[in-house]
Amino acid sequence: MTNIDSSRPVLVTGATGYVASWLIKRLLDEGLTVHAAVRDPKKTNKIAHLNTMAEQSKGNIVYFKSDLLVKGSYGKAMEGCELVFHTASPFISKIKDPQKDLIDPAVGGTENILDSASQTASVKRIVLTSSCAAVYNDAIDCLHAPNGTLTEAVWNNGSSLDYQPYSFSKTLAEKKAWTICENQEQWDLVVINPSLVLGPWMNPKVTTSESFAILKQLGDGTMKMGAPKLGLGMVDVRDVAEAHYQAAFNPSAKGRYITSGHNTNFLEMSKILLPKFGKDYPLPSKPLPKWLLMLVGPFTNKLFTRRFIRNNVNIEWKADNSKIKNDLGIAFRPMQETMEDAFQILVDEKVL
Ligand code: NAP
């Protein structure tokens, strides 16, 4: 049981991020003082939305310059904090060198932050943003899971530097966190494992999250011929923020939490947008046949290798989200609300 004193500051790493922004809003609205760790506090366009949120809330925000790759650079930001939210990690698909661009910041950064936590006597709990990518590698893994359903007991053991390197980075980073946690007794670790996060952006002009790029592809005509029935999980960013908040302040929160509102697929996500946006935007409404994807996929998108298509397209994705509902009282928004609110941002920002 870990009780957090909410009069103490709380650290959020990767504060400029899509997920972190909603978490920070939740914390500020609660009146907390947020120590926001960012790579470059001088990039005012990246933190403008956080400043606005702080002005409109009961809480306070203080910025610290920190980098996952710079050892000890989170120490100052952690001073006096009982709680650390570690959300920072690259979620990008355009990479040159998976080791340098993904693994080093994800794994080295986690080690860097947890080591600093062990050197900061005030820290009692760390909430780590992992991913369902650390639970499974391909949708086909669901078929091999007990009862055909992913649970917190399942680990991704199929990714590598060459295949799904982002998933590899999240798996290695979470494993590193559990290993470090087991070797000390000062703080406990609670892990949030979201599936694909969607929903409104607070900083759509500067976001780097791959979530934005994925949604944009549905509306910009890239998929007007059809969308693959690619099995995946989806969750609203506001529910992910709430999950982090509850994981932090519920004294009995423990272990990993699959944070996924809906078992779905890419085509279904697109079709749910058709009634509201289908008239004005070239949203895919038909499935793209697997054979056609096998033929052209590898030439159109580096991620769409034949192996990836074989193991993910037309395969049902299924995860059990009962642990987070029961332990932390999380209720997930309907998929329609999430998709429509997210797509509306693309419309409002004229990015399509
Ligand atoms: P995001 O908006 O791109 O946020 C990533 C954050 O990490 C940014 O604040 C970025 O800072 C920071 N970061 C990256 N490299 C860094 C470095 N070397 N040093 C310090 N900070 C660094 O992406 P997001 O979607 O919110 O993702 C947040 C977390 O959720 C990640 O851990 C991601 O793996 C996890 N997650 C996301 C999804 C999803 O669908 N979005 C699903 C499951 C899990 P800068 O602004 O300086 O670049």
pLDDT band at 104 (very low <50, low <70, confident <90, very high): very high
Mean pLDDT, residues 76-84: 98
Report how far residue 233's alpha carbon sits from residue 292's, in angstroms, rounded to the nearest whole number: 24
Ligand 1 site, residue 14, Cβ cutoff 6 A: yes
Number of domains in the chain: 1
Whether residue 254 is contained in a domain is answered as yes
Domain holding 66, by residue range, is 10-348
| Ligand 1 pocket: which of 23, 40, 87, 101 to mutate (most atoms within 8 A of CB) | 87
Whether residue 57 is contained in a domain is answered as yes
Mean pLDDT, residues 43-61: 97
Nearest CA to ligand 1 atom 20: 67
Mean pLDDT, residues 21-44: 98
Mean pLDDT, residues 44-57: 97
Whether residue 126 is contained in a domain is answered as yes
Q: Can you tell me which atom of ligand 1 is nearest the CA of 235? A: 40
pLDDT for residue 291: 87
pLDDT for residue 284: 94
Average of per-residue pLDDT values in the chain: 96
Nearest CA to ligand 1 atom 10: 14
Nearest to 86 by CA among 135, 158, 7, 15: 15
Whether residue 86 is contained in a domain is answered as yes
Q: Can you tell me which atom of ligand 1 is nearest the CA of 39? A: 47
Ligand 1 site, residue 238, Cβ cutoff 6 A: no
Ligand 1 site, residue 228, Cβ cutoff 6 A: no
Distance from Cα 234 to the centre of ligand 1, integer Å: 17
Distance from Cα 129 to the centre of ligand 1, integer Å: 9
- By residue count, the chain amounts to 352
pLDDT band at 93 (very low <50, low <70, confident <90, very high): confident
Asked whether residue 292 carries a pLDDT value surpassing 90, the answer given is: no
pTM: 0.98
pLDDT for residue 30: 98
Whether residue 2 is contained in a domain is answered as no
- Residue 63, strand partner residues: 36
Cα–Cα separations (whole angstroms), residue 199 to 178, 237, 290, 335: 29, 5, 28, 9
Report how far residue 306's alpha carbon sits from residue 294's, in angstroms, rounded to the nearest whole number: 6
Q: Can you tell me which atom of ligand 1 is nearest the CA of 19? A: 26
Q: Which residue has the tokens 């960012």?
A: 38
pLDDT band at 80 (very low <50, low <70, confident <90, very high): very high
Q: Name which of 16-20, 299-303, 328-332 the model is least confident about.
A: 299-303
Distance from Cα 169 to the centre of ligand 1, integer Å: 12
Mean pLDDT, residues 76-92: 97
Distance from Cα 241 to the centre of ligand 1, integer Å: 14
Token pair for 299: 């030439």
Mean pLDDT, residues 300-328: 92
Whether residue 184 is contained in a domain is answered as yes
Ligand 1 site, residue 171, Cβ cutoff 6 A: no
Please check whether residue 225 is in contact with residue 288, taking contact to mean a CB–CB distance below 8 angstroms.
yes
pLDDT for residue 183: 97
Whether residue 272 is contained in a domain is answered as yes
Residue 295 belongs to domain with CATH number = 3.40.50.720
Report how far residue 328's alpha carbon sits from residue 191's, in angstroms, rounded to the nearest whole number: 12
Q: Three-state secondary structure along 125-148?
A: EEEEECCHHHCCCCCHHHHHCHHH
pLDDT for residue 295: 82
Report how far residue 101's alpha carbon sits from residue 328's, in angstroms, rounded to the nearest whole number: 34
Lateral strand order in the sheet of 60-65: 60-65, 33-38, 10-13, 83-86, 125-129, 188-194, 255-259
Q: Name which of 99-103, 106-110, 213-217 the model is least confident about.
A: 213-217
Asked whether residue 47 carries a pLDDT value surpassing 80, the answer given is: yes
pLDDT for residue 301: 72
Asked whether residue 303 carries a pLDDT value surpassing 80, the answer given is: no
Q: Can you tell me which atom of ligand 1 is nearest the CA of 129? A: 32
Report how far residue 209's alpha carbon sits from residue 253's, in angstroms, rounded to the nearest whole number: 27
Whether residue 293 is contained in a domain is answered as yes
Ligand 1 site, residue 69, Cβ cutoff 6 A: yes
Asked whether residue 72 carries a pLDDT value surpassing 80, the answer given is: yes
Give the model confidence (pLDDT) of 117-160 as tens digits: 999 999 999 999 999 999 999 999 999 999 999 999 999 999 99
Give the model confidence (pLDDT) of 216-269 as tens digits: 999 999 888 899 999 999 999 999 999 999 999 999 999 999 999 999 999 999
Q: Can you tell me which atom of ligand 1 is nearest the CA of 90? A: 14
Ligand 1 site, residue 164, Cβ cutoff 6 A: no
Ligand 1 site, residue 208, Cβ cutoff 6 A: yes
Asked whether residue 300 carries a pLDDT value surpassing 80, the answer given is: no
